Each structure stands twice: as structure tokens, then as C-alpha cells.
Amino acid sequence: MRKENKVYIIGHKNPDTDSICSAIAYADIKNRTEKGTFVAKRAGQINEETEYVLKKFQMNAPGYMSDAGTQVKEIDIHEVAGVRGSISVKRAWETMRELNVVTLPITSKEDDLQGLITVSDIAKSYMDAYDSSVMSQARTQYRSIAETLDGTVIVGNEHGYFIKGRVVIGAFHPDTMENYIHEDDLVILGNRAEDQLCAIEMKASCIVVGLGAKVSKTIQKLAEDMSCVIISSPHDTYTIARLINQSIPIKYLMTKDNLITFHTSDKLEDIKEIMRSSRHRDYPIINRRGKYIGTISRRNLIGNRKKQVILVDHNEKSQAADNIEEANILEIIDHHRLGSLETMAPVLFRNQPVGCTATIMYQIYQERNLEIPQNIAGLLCAAIISDTLLFRSPTCTPADQAAAERLAERAGIGDIQRFAAEMFHAGSNLKDKSAEEIFYQDFKKFIMEDAVFGVGQISSMDGEELADIRSHLIPHLQSECGKHGIEMVFFMLTNIIDESTELLYYGDHAKELIETAFQVTAGDKSCMLSGIVSRKKQLIPAFMTALQQR
């Protein structure tokens, strides 16, 4: 099963409106101008502000992709159909040769995996074939015996089973045959009528007549009366004796305990470790519904394609999807400081000092002479308003405002101020959310010098909303400090109208860092910062300078 080569366009963890909308827009640009399939993804749960924007412009949220490591479902899976446990060893062997495989999965009609049979299992069954009662122990169907011997059932129920007795070759004189044949045995015979008659009278459950020998009507009638199955085969006695064990149903030989299976969601890095510690050639794959869909082998992992990704609105490893180092990063489109990501090969890296990645997307539409769809224009406009706090943030440039105004016109947004108020209200209306959900709504982790800290932010045009959020968050900061290696936590409660931020904090040296960075005296749990509204351009650069001075 050859997988389609997709490229995933994805923003940072705890995605904001810019991260989501820029991913959607860039996927549209790529799909309209380049070969391949480009899919927008998100690395976390969308917040209320973004949800409001998507709903307003009738767009679906991108699919969730928290891990950039390659999963089983993204590589080529060998679609070996499952077989029923009732088929014969001979049929299984023929199927293996036709498909050029050494392993066959045994499944139910509903595709539930029941076991596996391999070439080595079949070979072992021949080497251990000393028990003449193995066919009855395996409950071998008479129809299967006939098919294996290229014969037909001429008397008796072909759907019946050989369930008791041994397999015996009737090569004795009729006078002594009764000493060797027991009741319910399966007897392999030639064309001598007296031998056939003797075996039936000894209450054999089945006789196999070789070389296509005729069986008289009298003997057929006696066999019918005695409930003895008669199978006619064109082969000689030696060939019949050699082939007959191949009629055993494979469920008797299959391995059904301690099977090593993989799921479509499993990551290749984890699978490699398991494969190294086992000697199997093929491994069954189970989908999310618990059904068997195919197999993979070590060969599937050689030269497998890594996930191909394009990053938007971030370029730091700590903010990227998990295991981003396992992916093949093709491009980065961003407007933040240079971060810690490393790539195996050169990539297209477009980083511009503007207030929003959506502004760059607008420019790319213009550069490629593409008409911007009305709904995507609305998304990009909303992203710029969000990231620039309605053009009040120091990160905002004339290019951002000009782009937002043109996008608003294209999207049919008549009153930008009113639209911004509705959007910010949706983002700060957190009455039904827990403190933890509020905390991580827009939260980013930073590693600078020897310090690891996190900064969250909520922006609102309503001071009362911010006060209510404050009461929820202050008791919660302590429980978040220490998680994910974070030593200090900060949370920005930004008032868009007043262009100010109350900075909540917790952790050793957090107060000292604020006071050094902004030359202020911080309160017990928070500090008012007038004119500070941007995490990216005001807070983080000030923290960086202060940390370098320590």
C-alpha cells in the first residue's frame, strides 16, 4: 500500500490564532502553486479566540498532530490478506508462494487477528510428523483432505471432520489387516475390493482409494450404511501418504499466543527497538479499530520517508511538535527571534520583522499573483489583529496594518474595531475553563542561558475580565512551576485599551528577573508594567538582557 507523499504545515504548541490561520493559508498557497498535497495541522488544542474566528469564516480546524515522528500508517504497508484458520497447510503454502511471503496472518471474517503461520511452522510440522493421529487431533475436514489429494468425496458428508483415529496405510493382507486397523481410523488403500471391504467392516471412518480406482456400488452402499467416507484420489499410495498431512487446518499449527503486533499509530523509532530484539520476518499491523490490515518487515523501515513538514509562526524546538528532530523540515515561515531548531539540510527560511506571520502570508499571495479566498482573507485579518493587539503592540509595523485593512475589505469585515472587540471577548471569556486550561491557552516555554521558564498571555479589552482571570491564575502558578523542567512561570494579563500588562509570577528568582529586566519594584505575586503588551518584542528581549547580566 503506497502512501501518498504529504507535506504537513504546522504551527507551534498551544497554538494561537496566527499559528492556525497561517497554516491554513500556506496550505492553500502551496496546493494552488506546487505539486504535491499540503495539509494544515495543529500541534495543540485551539483556544476560544481561534475557535470564534474559524466559526465566523466557516473554516474547519486543522487536524491534530502533536508528534512529528513517523508513524506506521505513514509508511508502505504490505497488504497481505488474512486467511481463515480452516484452510489447509497445502493451500497456505501455495498462497505464500503466490504472494512471495513467508508469513500468513490468520483472521476471522471480521478481520480480527487470530494467529500467524510461517514457512518455518510448516517445515517444523513435517519434521515432527511422527504421530499418526495428528490429523484427527487437528479436526481435519474431509473436503480439505480430498482437495489436498486432488480427489473427490464419492461417499459421505464432505463437510464432516476426521476427529478420532489414526492414518493407516492398508498394505496388509486382508487376513492380517484387522490386526492393524482400529475403529475410526482413516485408511489409505489401493484398488483391491477385499481391502476396501475389510476396512469398512472394521468401522474405519474414512478410506482413501488411490490411482483413481473404481469403487463398486456394493462397497459404496456398505460405506454409506456404515457412515464411512470414501475419497478417491488419482495419486499412488506413496504420494497420498506424503501429501495427506498437508490437509491439516493451519489453525492447528498457527502461533496464537504472545504475538508481536504493531498499530498504525505506533512510531517507527519505537518499532525499530522491538524488531531488533526479535527474529520475525513480518509483523501484523492493527488499525485504530483493532482490525488487521497488513504486515511490515524490516525492509519497510529501510529508507522510509520521514514526515515532511513546514513550520509556521515558530522556529524553536521547545515550541515545536514533539520529535520534530525526526521530521524532514522543508521550510520555516516566521516572525520571531531565531531559535534553537536545527535541520539536516538547507531549508527555505523566511523570517521577517513584522508583527504577524499572517502578514507574510498576505505578501506571498501578492508575490504569486493569487487571489485570496474570502474566508482565508478573514482568517489572516483576524490573525494580524490578534498578534498586534489591534495595531497597539510595538511589534506592529505599517505592513501589518496595511495588510489587515486590505484583508478586512476582501473578507467583508466592515468595522475592524467592532470585529476585534468581539474576537478578544471570545478569547478572554473563560468562565467554563479550569485554571490549567486558561494557563496553557497561550503558553510558551523558553530556554535562555541556564534558565528555563514559561510565559503565558491573555489579552482583553475588558479590565473586569482580566481581574476575574487573575483570581483564578494566581493560586495555580505554584502548581505549574517545576513541570517540564520550568523553574519560573510568568503570566501576562494584557489590557489592550490601557496598553499595559499585569505580570503574574512564581518561582525562585522570578521576582528578581522582573525587577532587573524592567527596573521596577515588583509586588508579592505580580507587577504592573505600563506600555508592555508584547511577549515577543518587549518581555522576552528584556528577560534575555537581564539573564545575560547575571
DSSP string across 311-352: EES---GGGSPBTGGGSEEEEEEE-S---S---SS--EEEE-
Query: If you average pLDDT over residues 305-330, what whole number do you get?
Result: 90
pLDDT over 90 (residue 337): no
Of 292-296, 354-358, 422-426, 542-546, give the lowest mean pLDDT range.
Answer: 422-426
| pLDDT confidence of residue 492 | 95
Task: For the chain, report the end-to-end CA distance as a whole number of angstroms.
Answer: 57
Percent of the chain with pLDDT strictly greater than 90: 65
pLDDT: which is higher, 339 or 134: 134
pLDDT over 80 (residue 450): yes
| pLDDT confidence of residue 431 | 67
* Mean pLDDT across the chain: 91
Of 119-128, 181-190, 350-359, give the lowest mean pLDDT range.
Answer: 119-128
DSSP 284: E
| pLDDT confidence of residue 521 | 94
Q: Cα torsion at 232, 238, 243, 247 (round to 10°)?
A: 50
Query: If you average pLDDT over residues 434-448, what whole number do you get?
Result: 86
Do residues 474 and 526 make contact, with C-beta atoms less than 8 angstroms apart?
yes
**Nearest CA-CA partner of 183 in 164, 207, 157, 156:** 164
Amino acid at the residue 270: D
Query: Tens digit of pLDDT for each residue in 77-114?
Result: 888 999 999 999 999 999 999 999 999 999 999 999 99
| pLDDT confidence of residue 164 | 92
- Residue 332 CA to residue 350 CA, distance in Å, equals 6
Banded pLDDT at 294 (limits 50, 70, 90):
very high
- Residue 273 CA to residue 283 CA, distance in Å, equals 13
Of 153-167, 343-357, 416-430, give the lowest mean pLDDT range.
Answer: 416-430
Percent of the chain with pLDDT strictly greater than 70: 97
- Residue 11 CA to residue 43 CA, distance in Å, equals 7
3-class DSSP assignment, residue 477: helix
Q: What are the structural domains, with CATH classification, of the chain?
A: 6-69+306-426 (3.90.1640.10), 74-126+252-301 (3.10.580.10), 139-247 (3.40.1390.20), 435-548 (3.10.310.20)
| pLDDT confidence of residue 128 | 63
| pLDDT confidence of residue 430 | 66
pLDDT over 70 (residue 4): no
Name the CA radius of gyration of the chain, rounded: 37
Amino acid at the residue 45: Q
The region that residue 138 occupies, defined by phi over 0 for left and psi between -120 and 50 for alpha, beta otherwise, is alpha
Instruction: Kindly provide the b/e burial profile for residues 519-547, where b requires at least 16 CB atoms within 10 angstroms of the residue's own CB.
Output: eeebeebbbebeebbbbbbbbbebbbebb
Query: If you average pLDDT over residues 493-515, what whole number do you get?
Result: 93
- Residue 144 CA to residue 188 CA, distance in Å, equals 16
pLDDT over 70 (residue 12): yes
- H or E element, residue 177: helix 174-177
CA–CA distance from 314 to each of 29, 154, 337, 339, 351 (Å)?
Answer: 19, 76, 9, 8, 10
| pLDDT confidence of residue 273 | 82
Query: If you average pLDDT over residues 30-51, what whole number do you get?
Result: 94
pLDDT over 60 (residue 2): no
| pLDDT confidence of residue 88 | 94
412 alpha carbon, distance to own chain's centre: 39
Banded pLDDT at 360 (limits 50, 70, 90):
very high
- Residue 547 CA to residue 550 CA, distance in Å, equals 5
pLDDT over 70 (residue 174): no
**Nearest CA-CA partner of 370 in 59, 22, 28, 19:** 28
pLDDT over 90 (residue 344): no
Angle at which helices 374-388 and 17-33 cross, to 10°: 140
Residues 6+ apart with CB under 8 A from 411: 57, 374, 375, 377, 378, 381
Banded pLDDT at 159 (limits 50, 70, 90):
very high
Phi, psi of 270 (to 5 degrees): -70, -40
pLDDT over 90 (residue 305): no
Query: Tens digit of pLDDT for each residue in 217-275?
Result: 999 999 999 999 999 999 999 999 999 999 999 999 999 988 999 999 888 888 888 88
pLDDT over 90 (residue 489): yes
DSSP 309: E
| pLDDT confidence of residue 353 | 94
| pLDDT confidence of residue 468 | 87
- Residue 68 CA to residue 329 CA, distance in Å, equals 10
| pLDDT confidence of residue 548 | 87
Do residues 316 and 335 make contact, with C-beta atoms less than 8 angstroms apart?
no
